[in-house]
Structure 1
Amino acid sequence: MKKIINDPKNVVEEMVSGLVGAYPDYVKQVPETLVVARSDDFDQVALVSGGGSGHEPSHAGFVGDGMLSAAVCGQVFTSPTPDQIHEAIKATDKGKGTLMIVKNYSGDVMNFDMAKDLAEMDDIEVDSVLVDDDIAVEDSTYTQGRRGVAGTVLVHKILGGMAREGKSVSELASYGKDLVKDIKTVGIALSGATVPEVGKPGFVLADDEIEFGVGIHGEPGYRREKIKPSYDIAKEIIGKLKAEFNWQKGDKYGLFVNGMGATPLMELFIMFNDAKSILAEEGIELTFNKVGNYMTSLEMAGASITMIKLDDERLRLLNEPVHTIAW
């Protein structure tokens, strides 16, 4: 294992310290926690998200005006504890309630639910939106149902804009639950990722092998096979997305190609170009595009393709400027 770290046991603490030290105009650390919160003042429903570390810039990179109020950084690939989530809720409470945006992993669901109970004992109104955009597999290593992956970032952006405009907790929760149904993702991996305290990759692929449908923690996908051209990979993924969306010619969508951490932007742009051309053949109108590393998996090589069904309001919210590190 070769990583630029000190003690593997301290990677998250030192990462959070470095992040808030580098970007004090955006974020601050809630004392004695691994919570990254907005450093500016605001008056709205608070949006709290988080999960295991190792997916940077998710979620702390999306804390700021127009997106999240706080992100809770668990240990690597490990759900944050209920007390840490509770601290994030208390630190960002403005008397208007909190919406939690939770990826569908068993530990996250349980711990965020427990934090909600704790916050409600403090008379803070709390609701949640569960993101399960990964259509590759139905049940996975850490989930009941589908996993929450890169599409979570789009949920942060759209609901963050609505919260900034003054929507209530119940309005945000209702809108968010419908929104998640219109976001779908499939990923591929070319190599595994190494958790620092483990010291070896979570899975190993041969030099000429890829895996379709792998999760952001290295959970198994649905097929391994020999590497093939980007166009063919994109064609398979778009085919799976089409079957889920059942789209019609002329429908409007957004296309989001996300890197897993070790894939060069050159390759992500090639995959985007292929996906865009395939969708043009389908008669799909792309009104929003995004390419880059937003929901990573440490140093995993690979990518995911996310599509979101768009209307005028969703498109407006996606395009509104925000003040965050990573968007």
Structure 2
Amino acid sequence: MTKHFTVENTVESALEGLALSNPSLTYVKEDKVIFRDQDKSKVALISGGGAGHEPTHAGFVGKGGLTGAVSGPIFASPSTKQILNGIKLVGQDKPGVLLIVKNYTGDVLHFGLAGERARALGYNVEVFVIGEDVSVGRSKGGLVGRRALAGTPIIHKSLGAYVENYKHTLKDAVKLATALNDNLVSIGASLNHAKVPGQEFESSLKDDEMELGMGIHNEPGVKTLKPVPSVEELIKTQMLPKLLDQSDKDRAFVNFEKGDEVVLLINNLGGVANLVLQAITKVAADLLKSEYDITPSRVYAGTLISALDGEGFSITLLNVTKANKSAPSEVKSVVDLLDAETEAAGWPAKRVETKAPTYDPELIKESDDSTQQAGTYDFDHFSKVLKAGTETLIKAEPEITRLDTKVGDGDCGTTLVAGAEGIVKNLDKLPKHSLAATFHKLSNLLEELCGGTMGALLSIYFSGLSQGVEKNSSKGTPVDPTTFGKALQDALDTLYKYTNARPGDSTIIDALEPFVKEFVKSSDFSKAVAAADKGAQATGSSEAKFGRASYVGDSSDIPDPGAIGLVEFLKGIESAF
């Protein structure tokens, strides 16, 4: 069973937590209302609905956003009394109050009734209903209309900026809301339903299924997809066509024409990792360009309206060009409203700056110019021994991996092989007349190809080798064993600046240092390899003090995989030396 943290009185605690972390907000516990101070000359904006959609609704209360928000229980509308009291709290002496409601039956009924009662009390109130979902078409949606999805926070943000920065009336605010909603389309997709606090998790979806057209209240999607497609296939074949295909008369709610300015929002339904969401954003933007020749003028990504921890996302498109035509005349572009500064915690960009810095690509172009062309060498022989070392390492990889699964995360063997194979594949890119320049190039390759701690260690060591060859030889002078030994020692000294690992700590150093010391002493490669082998085998009788192996309860009877891998590579070189 999936585990979840639980907190008593989750909704009330969450609202109080929001107020604690945002000192400009007031929380009224009795009615679950969050509100802020606002100039009396400005129309008050109130939204709300069931909890579970955080940061919507209360997360959009703040200067440049909503004036107040009213929360119901999870996935259930607040009561008419709660909403009416919210109007009373923020609507005093205001030119009007706009209730912004998502198109769900309970919300529409309760907010509508609260608006009627407030008007009877003398408040100037209008109710605006948001609906921009395209998954349920006209034929099936019937008189109910489109559901509200991630277009909701776009309208919250835009209206908040409008009443904050422009002269307006309540009628003007409704006009802007209409212009936005009429030009918004959204669709969601999810791998699973959400876990509701205090309830047993239920889902009819199997491991190889997902739902298209997922809403934000755990309601089923309109279509089950099996098997689960890739993100690219899902967006390309299922989501974007329903948003943009003008031939689909059941869903062509907004006409997108060539040249129209468009805003893209990728919304996290709550359970998608931030890393994955940003990648989804890239895929969606690329497909908009390649399939529809649309390059969004603004791209937003984040958790703006969630379905608790729903494992899904939604795509929202706003046709800016058409929205501008219907917006109040003083609004030059609705993008200006999205760009405007806000204190609302839920909006991902507090103020948009569109002047990204430029740079000279030459500054980061890979070059060996900083390395003197010191130390000539036999490139053909060098290539031969590298290939031999790689072949031996590949044969030893299963055993290295076996060891690493016991004391690490199981990738040491594949990491070393990836580095060695990558070098062999890039032999034609190595400088052929300078060993210093070659080691400099290898340092860059190893960091790129290996990655992680191993890549960093090897990259630093080869950088030290490059400097050592440069220090101990000159241009046009061959690198002899004595010079190479000095370079090996210089490289080890360089590595020791950045790691405290030493022989006896059960790391790759247990093999590397004996190899270096013996070669410096004797200039005999075979003796140096034997010394490295002895050091590597000794790691099987000592506790690891560095790396993931140091976290293992008892690793004293297992040789260090990195040290074993280095020795195998050196043995391969020795066979062809």
TM-score of the aligned structures, taking structure 2 as reference length: 0.54
Query: Shift of residue 149 of structure 1?
Result: 1.0
Does structure 2 retain, via aligned residues, the 8 Å contact 1:194–1:298? yes
Partner in structure 2 of residue 204 of structure 1? 204
Give the residue type in structure 1 aligned to 2:31: T
Query: Shift of residue 138 of structure 1?
Result: 4.0
| Per-residue deviation, residues 90-109 of structure 1 (Å, max 9, x unmatched) | 11113211011100000000
Match of 2:343 among 319, 323, 327: 323
Does structure 2 retain, via aligned residues, the 8 Å contact 1:63–1:71? yes
Query: Shift of residue 46 of structure 1?
Result: 0.3
Q: Report the more deviating stretch, 120-129 or 107-116.
A: 120-129
The answer as to 2:57 corresponding to 1:59 is: yes
Point out the structure with the larger helix share: 2
Partner in structure 2 of residue 304 of structure 1? 314
| Per-residue deviation, residues 141-193 of structure 1 (Å, max 9, x unmatched) | 9x922111111000001111111123111111122123201011000011111
Measure the CA separation in 1 of the matches of 2:73 and 2:161: 29
Does structure 1 retain, via aligned residues, the 8 Å contact 2:265–2:317? yes
| Per-residue deviation, residues 260-312 of structure 1 (Å, max 9, x unmatched) | 10101122112211111111122223111100111101111000000001145
Point out the structure with the larger strand share: 1
Partner in structure 2 of residue 274 of structure 1? 283
Give the residue type in structure 2 aligned to 1:313: S
Query: Shift of residue 5 of structure 1?
Result: 2.4
| Per-residue deviation, residues 16-37 of structure 1 (Å, max 9, x unmatched) | 1222122223x11135220011
Measure the CA separation in 1 of the matches of 2:231 and 2:269: 16
Measure the CA separation in 1 of the matches of 2:309 and 2:67: 27
Measure the CA separation in 2 of the matches of 1:262 and 1:283: 30
Does structure 2 retain, via aligned residues, the 8 Å contact 1:137–1:221? no
Measure the CA separation in 2 of the matches of 1:301 and 1:221: 13
Does structure 2 retain, via aligned residues, the 8 Å contact 1:103–1:148? yes
Give the residue type in structure 1 aligned to 2:177: G
Partner in structure 2 of residue 92 of structure 1? 90
Measure the CA separation in 2 of the matches of 1:22 and 1:317: 25
- Name the SS for the 1:187 alignment partner: strand
Partner in structure 1 of residue 133 of structure 2? 134
Measure the CA separation in 2 of the matches of 1:212 and 1:146: 15
Report how many aligned residue pairs link the two structures. 321
Q: Report the more deviating stretch, 285-294 or 172-181.
A: 172-181
Does structure 2 retain, via aligned residues, the 8 Å contact 1:256–1:305? yes
- Name the SS for the 1:286 alignment partner: coil
Does structure 1 retain, via aligned residues, the 8 Å contact 2:12–2:29? no
Measure the CA separation in 1 of the matches of 2:57 and 2:151: 12
The answer as to 2:261 corresponding to 1:260 is: no
Change (3 A) 1:31 1:55: closer
Match of 1:288 among 292, 298, 314: 298
Match of 2:45 among 47, 61, 65: 47
- Name the SS for the 2:219 alignment partner: coil
In the TM superposition, 1:78-117 aligns within 5 A as 78-93=76-91, 94-117=93-116
Give the residue type in structure 1 aligned to 2:155: V
Partner in structure 2 of residue 183 of structure 1? 184
Give the residue type in structure 1 aligned to 2:319: K
Which structure has more RCO (C-alpha within 8 Å, separation ≥ 6)? 1
Give the residue type in structure 2 aligned to 1:150: A
Match of 1:69 among 47, 67, 70: 67
Partner in structure 2 of residue 247 of structure 1? 256
Measure the CA separation in 2 of the matches of 1:6 and 1:246: 45
Change (3 A) 1:248 1:41: closer
Does structure 2 retain, via aligned residues, the 8 Å contact 1:250–1:285? no
Partner in structure 1 of residue 217 of structure 2? 217
- Name the SS for the 2:297 alignment partner: strand
Measure the CA separation in 1 of the matches of 2:157 and 2:151: 10
Measure the CA separation in 2 of the matches of 1:265 and 1:275: 15
Measure the CA separation in 1 of the matches of 2:197 and 2:53: 14
Change (3 A) 1:284 1:24: same
RMSD, aligned CA: 1.8
Measure the CA separation in 1 of the matches of 2:176 and 2:21: 34
Does structure 1 retain, via aligned residues, the 8 Å contact 2:99–2:128? yes
Measure the CA separation in 2 of the matches of 1:92 and 1:33: 13
Match of 2:334 among 293, 314, 323: 314
- Name the SS for the 2:293 alignment partner: coil
Give the residue type in structure 2 aligned to 1:129: F
Does structure 1 retain, via aligned residues, the 8 Å contact 2:183–2:319? yes
Partner in structure 2 of residue 34 of structure 1? 32
**Bigger radius of gyration among the two:** 2
Does structure 2 retain, via aligned residues, the 8 Å contact 1:258–1:294? yes
Measure the CA separation in 2 of the matches of 1:35 and 1:227: 40
TM-score of the aligned structures, taking structure 1 as reference length: 0.93
Measure the CA separation in 2 of the matches of 1:188 and 1:69: 31
Measure the CA separation in 2 of the matches of 1:13 and 1:134: 29
- Name the SS for the 2:163 alignment partner: helix
Give the residue type in structure 2 aligned to 1:296: S
- Name the SS for the 2:333 alignment partner: helix
